[in-house]
Amino acid sequence: MIAFAVIDEATGTVAGTTSLYDFVPDQSRVELGMTFFGRKYWGRNVNAASKLALLSFAFEELLVHRVTLRCDVRNVRSAAAILKLGASLDGVLRGYRRGHDGSRVDCAIYSILEHEWPHSRAGLVHRLTPADLLPEVTELIEYSEQLVRDDAEHAPLPA
């Protein structure tokens, strides 16, 4: 697991955490999650900016084909945030884990595939202001856009 602390630059305090885990290189997949932000950061661009950084790393550095995200089906806030990333609902794992109260909990599974990443990335970049983007993220975006241009230049013409 690669866990990240998200720091509020204005206060120097931890705004939350997010992680990449279950990386399976030979299957070209990774899971993104275990994301928790303090309530004062809900509804702000903190989640979008951190997800842009992690998804960029997953698709452009780890070169994965699939990034999986999941949440408790009762957590409508998390489900909405995942969909806003451009992820698609793959399905629901019924009785997947025990909840805090001991009951069985269903888990919604979402994914973003490699060919969906440029559209997802564009949506995230559109949501963010330049102030939301760290220089490293801006650099990854520029690198990603260059890769897309290079692919387009070398792609075979349709028959």
- At 135, the pLDDT band (50, 70, 90 cuts) reads low
| Residue 43: inside a domain | yes
Strand ranges inside 9-143, DSSP E: 13-24, 29-37, 66-72, 88-98, 104-113
Is the predicted pLDDT of residue 154 greater than 80, yes or no? no
Instruction: Specify the number of domains making up the chain.
Output: 1
Question: Is 0.85 topped by the overall pTM?
Answer: no
What does the pLDDT read at residue 155? 56
- Amino acid identity of residue 157, one-letter, is L
| Residue 66: inside a domain | yes
What does the pLDDT read at residue 152? 58
| Residue 58: inside a domain | yes
Q: 7 - beta bridge partners?
A: 14
What are the backbone dihedrals phi and psi of residue 143, each rounded to the nearest 5 degrees, phi first? -65, -45
Show the domain range for 140.
Answer: 2-154
| Residue 159: inside a domain | no
| Residue 60: inside a domain | yes
Task: Report the share of the chain in percent with pLDDT over 70.
Answer: 81
| Residue 20: inside a domain | yes
pLDDT tens-digit readout, 74-115: 999 889 989 999 999 999 999 999 988 999 999 999 999 999
Half-sphere exposure of 26 (CA within 13 A, CB side): 0
pLDDT tens-digit readout, 40-69: 877 777 788 889 989 999 999 999 999 999
Q: In whole angstroms, what is the distance from residue 31 CA to residue 28 CA?
A: 11
* Burial class, 81, CB count within 10 angstroms (exposed 0-12 / middle 13-18 / buried 19+): buried
Most confident of 35-39, 70-74, 132-136: 70-74
Q: What is the CATH number of the domain that holds 62?
A: 3.40.630.30
